[in-house]
Chains A and B, each alone.
Chain A
């Protein structure tokens, strides 16, 4: 049954990817999005799920994160964050191979070896040795090979994504060599999720305090962050206001 599910899922992803490539035609590699016109046909459903996510966050996740951030000293937080980031180095190495970035792939594999051997990944010794961390994932690999983002979606509990990035996450779930070979994977996934939530705690507080429309703010931040990982001159290409004499 599990195998059948995997096959159906992979077929679905493959079909989805082909459809996207055909539809996206020429300007697929650089997304060139005007951020106030992001493809969002599921907005009404997304808004409901976002409300639900904030409700769960308010009553279950946020208190845990605030307590953790209050109790844990900065070096501990950093260590935990490094640990979970290090577990993603093998999947980064695989992603870079598919992107044709072989040196970066070797760098990721090297980082994993050095950091795991020296401190189980809790200390980033590799960076000190000049092996700089490069972020990537399967979603970005799909983006760089021309797959457009598809509709924006809010995933229950997990948060903002789009069809392409969510597909990437699903593929990662099945092919990640580390988490597939670790017992108690569920606990690891929960820990990773909580760590990811703790890392964006300040930003979520800001969204609560300063946004006029938190749904739009989260969507815009999500796409800007993803595009910054896809486009080389991301900052230079961001829209700038017309200049008025003050």
Chain B
């Protein structure tokens, strides 16, 4: 009996350790690639942007973020065509806004500090630091179909998701929950 408990305990620890190692490797690899794209001055700016766009497509949980920013009732009351249009517009908006956010805060190294898990979401605590300063950066990451996807980026205690949720909610409230209006606003950026 004791042996069985010991084996189960060992397997659980081993599983947790493997998962920890897996997400650490993913984070180190992707953050390195991200910095390489952002700091690469050898190529034209638009080429960098294209690479960066692919990085966002591969690593961000775009549908989850896009739908999370809407009220459930709005998702239910719109047809699939409008929702797909919203998702595509949001993808382009997310790419532009994260690019803008990153451009002003990415020089130096991204250093992983620790990883926490809450309700199946990994919360990665990291710092971007150069010689003179350091910026606190949290990533909320989820594992979907064996791939890690970013749900939120929290720069110096400002969550991208929470901030955009406030903005989108206001636009929708002002315009009787009209999703087409929100799409037009996003296209303006």
Q: With the chains together, A239 CA to B65 CA distance in Å?
A: 11
Partner of B123, one of A35, A224, A236: A236
Q: Is A8 an interface residue (CB 8 A)?
A: no
Q: With the chains together, A78 CA to B131 CA distance in Å?
A: 12
Interface size on B, residues (CB 8 A): 49
| Residue of B97, B166, B170 with most chain A CB atoms under a 10 A cut-off | B166
- For the residues of A in contact with B, the DSSP-based class is helix
Interface size on A, residues (CB 8 A): 35
B100 x A206 contact (CB < 8 A)? yes
Q: With the chains together, A136 CA to B142 CA distance in Å?
A: 34
Q: With the chains together, A242 CA to B144 CA distance in Å?
A: 12
Q: CB-CB < 8 A to B170: which residues of A?
A: 36, 213, 215-216
Q: Is B104 an interface residue (CB 8 A)?
A: yes
Q: Is B3 an interface residue (CB 8 A)?
A: no
Q: With the chains together, A225 CA to B161 CA distance in Å?
A: 14
Q: CB-CB < 8 A to A236: which residues of B?
A: 116, 118, 123
Q: With the chains together, A221 CA to B138 CA distance in Å?
A: 15
Q: Is A26 an interface residue (CB 8 A)?
A: no
Given contacts A36-B170, A240-B151, 16 further A-B contacts (CB under 8 A): A36-B169, A38-B166, A202-B105, A205-B104, A209-B100, A210-B96, A210-B189, A212-B171, A212-B188, A217-B167, A224-B157, A235-B154, A236-B116, A240-B152, A243-B64, A243-B151
Q: Name A residues whose Cβ lies closer than 8 Å to a Cβ of B.
A: 35-36, 38, 74-75, 78, 202, 205-206, 209-213, 215-217, 219-221, 224-225, 228, 234-236, 238-246
- 10 closest A-B pairs by beta carbon, nearest first, are A241-B68, A228-B157, A220-B166, A36-B169, A202-B104, A210-B97, A216-B170, A244-B63, A220-B163, A216-B167
